[in-house]
Amino acid sequence: MHLNYIADKYKIILKTTPLFQQELTEFYSHIPMRAINVRFFNPFTGQWHTAECYRGDRKVGTLFDFDGVGKLYDCVDQSLIEL
């Protein structure tokens, strides 16, 4: 068996603090469901990198349900995966 690399791909995970429903909706409204260009600092090379990414897996869970205030959601993870 031979292993040949054809490309390096980046997966960027956006992580938030706990959010209420309105903040959660606003967070996702800024991440379109199409390819986007993302500029990020690459800690392995020590340089800034720009990658064209698509929206990947999302992880969110409920922490508390406050009566009259709404639900507080745990930290949100949104992955962006390079095309």
3-state secondary structure of 34: coil
Among 14, 12, 19, 28, residue whose Cα is nearest residue 61: 19
pLDDT tens digits along 65-76: 877 777 888 888
Residues 7-36: tens digit of each pLDDT:
888 888 989 899 888 898 898 888 888 999
Residue 19 corresponds to which tokens in the numbers above? Answer: 């959010």
Q: What does DSSP assign to residue 22?
A: H
Tell if the pTM clears 0.85, that is, is over it: no
CA atoms within a 13 Å half-sphere pointing along the CA-CB vector of 44: 3
